[in-house]
Structure 1
Amino acid sequence: MSQTVPRIAPLEPPYAPEIQEQFDRIMRGAPPLMLFRVMAGNARAWEKFRAGSLLDRGPLSLREREIVIDRTCARTGCEYEWGVHVAAFAGAAHLTEEQVRATVRGAAIDGCWSEAEQALIATADALHDRATLSEAEFAALSAHYDDAKIFEIILLCGFYRTVSYLANGLALPPEERAARFPVA
């Protein structure tokens, strides 16, 4: 049986005006995610989370960004965050059902990915497995991405590993409209 409530209670509405404003800015008017409601209950954690969150648009395309995030969350076993991202962004990122499945069940060399996307998957895998990139892995990444994008890719892997630790460690239940990991 899966967890239905997080280990730390989330904030409940009505939210303090400054928290509501932050939720509105991040969620663009949609109800706040459970993760945000739990984090916002601890002012220091919420402030640090938002400060390093990479929630802004960076130098990567939405598709590149989502491939990195989805693979990182899948590798950490974080169905919560993976499901939120797949539900919210897979369509806009033009990820096919096969590619969404491959973020969880596939390999970097799968034919559903372009060479550049294979480098993204391989980078997320290497950082997850070894917390570093070999010279060959960095060369493959550098063949497709400039320095600004490489920084963003590595930062996204690290940040979403942290998000995964939070969601998994706090036992956040899946969001109502979130995707679920594909079965084997």
Structure 2
Amino acid sequence: MRLNPITPGTRPELAAQEAQILAARGRISPLYQVLLNSPPVAHGWEQMLSAIRNHNSLPASLRELVILRVAVLNRAPYEFDAHVPHALAAGVLPATIEAMRAPSLSAHPGMTDLQRLVLEYTDAMTRDIHVAEALFARVRAHFDDQALLDLTATVAAYNMVSRLLVALQIGH
């Protein structure tokens, strides 16, 4: 790690924040130990990522596929490994999880057309940042405004997560 993690229980002024993280996650992971170097960032991070993970209108299986794909594209194995259990719990098949690692997803027979489309959108947002109008129109045809925002925010947020993990070498 490039930043020193804050060992839980060592800074009394962080006790309440650590208790909130423990209540939400069951543990204070290495990621959150690093985030606690900036309590306001750790708080905002937890609020935003909890909303995306726990109050998202997308089916959990789609959300987890997006997260896995972003982790692969950004070379963030810590993020990928952390979300495999969530993907399995959401009903994503192990073969589909492994398919997220491939450069091209179109050949995987177990994926639905909607999954392929969502992952195409994820790839465009992550690799190119720009999303072509034709692709956006295809995605828009499947989602209402809330779900479209939730999808876009999930891709964007997990790009943030993976880029922080990689830059600070968390989980290496």
Same fold (TM over 0.5): yes
CA distance in 1, matches of 2:69, 2:109: 16
When normalised by structure 1's length, the TM-score is: 0.83
Q: 1:50 offset after TM fit, Å?
A: 2.5
Q: 1:17 offset after TM fit, Å?
A: 2.4
Q: 1:25 offset after TM fit, Å?
A: 2.8
Q: 1:62 offset after TM fit, Å?
A: 0.8
Q: How many residues align?
A: 166
Instruction: Identify the match of residue 88 of structure 2 among 81, 91, 94.
Output: 91
CA distance in 2, matches of 1:166, 1:41: 13
- Map of 1:94-113 to 2, 5 A cutoff? 94-105=91-102, 107-109=104-106, 110-113=108-111
Instruction: Give the aligned partner of residue 120 of structure 1.
Output: 118
Runs (4+) off by over 6 Å: none
Contact (CA 8 Å) 2:73, 2:127: kept in 1 or not?
no
Instruction: Give the aligned partner of residue 48 of structure 2.
Output: 52
Query: What SS does the aligned partner of 2:101 have?
Result: helix
When normalised by structure 2's length, the TM-score is: 0.88
Q: 1:8 offset after TM fit, Å?
A: 0.8
| CA displacement 1:34-77 (0-9 Å, x = unmatched) | 10111012123213322432243210111011011111111111
Residue ranges of structure 1 left out of the alignment (5+ in a row): 1-5, 175-184
CA distance in 2, matches of 1:58, 1:131: 22
Instruction: Identify the match of residue 36 of structure 1 among 19, 32, 35.
Output: 32
Instruction: Give the aligned partner of residue 152 of structure 1.
Output: 150
The residue type equivalent to 2:99 in the other structure is: A
Please report the RMSD computed on the Cα atoms of aligned residues, expressed in angstroms.
1.7
CA distance in 2, matches of 1:40, 1:78: 20
Contact (CA 8 Å) 1:67, 1:103: kept in 2 or not?
yes
2:49 is the alignment partner of 1:71: no
CA distance in 1, matches of 2:27, 2:138: 40
CA distance in 2, matches of 1:59, 1:163: 20
The residue type equivalent to 2:158 in the other structure is: Y
Query: Which structure has the higher relative contact order (CA within 8 Å, separation 6+)?
Result: 1
